[in-house]
Chains A and B, each alone.
Chain A
Amino acid sequence: MKQRLHPFTALTAAASAAVVTTAAAYWPLSVAVALAAVFLAVRREVAGRVLPAAAVILTPLCLSLLVLHGLFFPEGQTVLAQWGPARVTAEGLGFALELGTRTTACVLAFLLFSFTVSVPDLVSALAGRRVPPQFGFVLASTLTLLPAVSVRLDRIRQAQETRGMVVRRGLVSRLGALRLQMVPLVLALIDDAGSRAQALDARGFGSPGPRTTYREVADPPAQRRFRAAALVFAAAAVAGRIVASWPAGVPS
């Protein structure tokens, strides 16, 4: 494909899409944004990871919305069906549709960003913008730690089973086993963090002052212009929404 997007360009695009979708509150637009995100995910060959991740997040949320607003919407006027206290109203279903599609669009846009961005590029770009280096550290270190921790947890489990631990089905037994797994994990992580802090300080991480970056991230002018335009567009959408629905009770 083309050259890689600057991390900020992708981030701005995702954030603007989310803001505009939220401000517009128009379900066909939400559906369009969601479809565009899916299309781009397929083109960038990350659909196989984005879609399952989105499904895990969105399925319970959308089901919950449908049940909640579909059956119980006291503000609804147009009753379509009724069983006891539960009333299916057109307004309730519409509300669930609006919110469900809106959240779907935002989640897909952000997941598309996070599954396509190169984290080292993002960290380097952040450092170049004088964002506190601690932020980039927390982001990148978390992503390195996560796989390492699951490997470690496996090792702890094996070692403990080897010492004769049999996890039975009861809640108490499982909680007990859990405590025994957590302690070595937490202790090792905190100890490692302690020595890492000493090493980082020795390598100048804690010192104030300017920094340079070894990794270079290209930022073509066209992408800068695109970012500016996207931000202006998102700001306009927010301003439009605020003007349109400033609550009556508050002086403006």
Chain B
Amino acid sequence: MTRGIWTRETVVLMLLAAYVPLALFWLWYGGTEAAQRLGLAGLVLAFWNLVFLLARAQPISLAMAITALAIAMLAPEGLGVFRLALGISFGAVMGELVFGGWGRNVVNPATVALSFLGFGFPGYPWPEFLAPVAWATIPAALIGVATGAMPAGVVTSAALAAVGAVASGLLPPAVLPAAGIVLVLLVADPVTSATTLLGRWLNGALYVGLVTLFALGWQGADPVQYAVAAALLTSLAAPVLDEMALALWYAKRRRRHGQN
């Protein structure tokens, strides 16, 4: 019997293809230090995936490469190996593996790990991104949306909302590089973002709204810090957004067809 291709690993491969430009630019400008962080994140994630493969027969997914890239790019700098490994372990295990692996998780493991590092070890500087790395988010988003692996509604509505927020002077343009990188790496994750049409549009807009709010009111925080915090809150709110969209859809159908 012939079969379609959109299995879990195909989606992962499409996402990885989307992240290639971003990762290449980041590695090019980050040098060996960036490569070392990526290697460490990959190693810790591979260890925990192996543990869960052996203990609970949970198949390993290439998605851990995406998680490794997101953590390596966005984690605070100068943490040292031990703290970084601790944060990655917490994120991978509590954010993804205990739920049954990638595809069954409710929050992005990288978001959990980054929030853990940010709240657990305040005072370490968050990374800053050079302009070329930030520009690389645009091909990443385009490839992701074109292959259908990234939710188009989330990316589009976030882009539109960001344009609106910058134009109205609420969102300082200096925040945009970090917000864009967090958008493609954490918020536009197909598993943990909203899944209904309306929910996706709300999801993207909510993320930009939260970033704007933090930029206005959170004194002394770095752009990456509040982008990650906004990503965490957005992914926690995604099921609520879906429920809202579904409730509207049910109501519309009830009006048209009577019951159900």
A and B bind: no
| Residues of chain B having any CB pair with chain A under 8 Å | none
| Residues of chain A having any CB pair with chain B under 8 Å | none
